[in-house]
Structures are given as structure tokens and as C-alpha cells.
Amino acid sequence: MNDLHAAARRCLDACDPAEKLQLTRATWNALQSGHLAPDPSSPAPTPIGDPGRPARPRLVAQRQVPRRGLGTPEGRAALVHAVAHIEFNAINLAWDAVYRFRGMPAAYYRDWASCANDEARHFALLSDRLAELGHAYGDFDAHNGLWEMAGKTAHHDTARMALVPRVLEARGLDVTPGMIERLRAVGDERTIAILEVILREEVAHVAAGTRWFRWCCERDGLDSREAFLDLLREYMGCNLRGPFNRPARLQAGFDDEELNRLAILAV
């Protein structure tokens, strides 16, 4: 197999987490070595459906996911599980970006394959930490908000780049420092070390979303600031959560004017 789109689909379809991680590493390595490339003759992408995932965790509405304190190992495991679920979804999101959107520059595919590889490594770190806490991925309920947005934006590369990395994934830049402080208060340095790695590397992933969102806007003759706000209104009704981690978001390609306008919209 030398078609990157087909290889991305294999990664996307894998249900077993260990298989998804193995395929992700192999696909990234093959792309780096020149054994994979986007094939213009690859069959068109199929309509988006559920990605490959294990039977558990049980997916519930976001409001049904219980909030737990971090004073017990169970509570810390629930937090680690929630982040692991985000990272598992992020693997699928990155591969869907490679599989679904055709005719993009080679650097686009390299960026999202690299992100998939990073997310797989993050998921592996969190899975190991869950095991140390006596749990495994699937032990706690989770929600499907990230993939639901993938479905809504499957027809529109500009919307996907705007709303998944620059809104939903960027939220991780905002909330992770607070998680770290809460974990520091209970002395969980092992989990903190993992979250610090994820926070540092997620800046680059959001930056990739910024880069390709602006590329799409330039291609289509759109003002990127206005297009971003228009997409927020269309898909989310400007339902944004604040406050924002301005230093991290600036590193990820947001500018001060954008952040000032987003702060006005945030609740």
C-alpha cells in the first residue's frame, strides 16, 4: 500500500486501541521515509460515520459524565481517562483530516499525520498511567463531542480546520494548566508530567489548525478573522467557553485582535 489516503482510512477504522496505535506509528514512519504519499487516483472519501473504537467506553451526553474530585485515586483515574478519551478522538480526527480532504498541499498531510502520531503517543502515556491507577481505557463513561463536530464539518475543510483544532482542541490549552494545579495540590507528579508534555505539544497541533484554516481562507478569498467568527456563529451559535490561555493561544497562531473578539463572545 503506497496511498496515504487509504493508509489513513485503515488507521481510522481500527477499533482496537493497540492496533490503532501500531498502525498510526507505521503510517507516520512510512510517510516520513517516502513509502507513502497522497494518491490523486485514490477513491473518493466515503460519507463520514463513526470511527473505529472499542465497545467501551460507553458514550453518553456530556452533562451525564460525572465530575469527580481529585482527592482519591478513583477521581484522578477519571480525569486521566477523560483526557485519554480526548486523545483517542484526536487520533481519529487527525487521520480523518488526512483521509477526507483531498488535493491539499503535501505539508498539510504531513502536519496531520504528525499530529496523529503525537496523539497516539499521548494516548499510550495516559493508558499506562491509568493502569498504574488500577484502571483501563473504557472503565468510565465519556462523551462524543469532538467526533460530533467532525461529522458536522465533514463537507467543508475550512470549517473543520476552524472548529476542531482552533475551538475544541484549543480548549485543552485553556483548561490543562488548571488541571495541573489541581493535581499539584494532591501531589500527583506522575500525571502532571504527562499533562505537561501534552500541553506543550498540543500548541503545535492547534497551530497546524490555524495554519491550514488561514490557507483555506486565502484559497477561497476570505478574510480569516471574519470567516472564523462566521463559522462560530453558524456551527456553535458563538457558544464559547472562557477564559482563554492567551500565551498558549498566541503561540498557536491566534493574534491579539482575534482573542479580544473571542473574549467578548465567551461565557
> What are the chain's domains?
4-35+66-265 (1.20.1260.10)
Each residue of 52-97: pLDDT tens digit? 999 999 988 777 777 777 888 899 999 999 999 999 999 999 999 9
Cell matching residue 234: 453558524
Residues 153 and 38 sit within 8 Å (Cβ to Cβ): no
Each residue of 146-187: pLDDT tens digit? 899 999 999 999 999 999 999 999 999 999 999 999 999 999
Each residue of 226-255: pLDDT tens digit? 999 999 999 988 678 889 999 999 999 999
Three-state SS at 251: helix
Which residues have CB under 8 Å from 40's CB, separation 6+? Answer: 102, 103
pTM: predicted TM-score of the whole model, two decimal places: 0.95
- Residues linked to residue 179 through DSSP beta bridges, in sequence order: none
CA distance linking residue 13 with residue 11, whole number of Å: 6
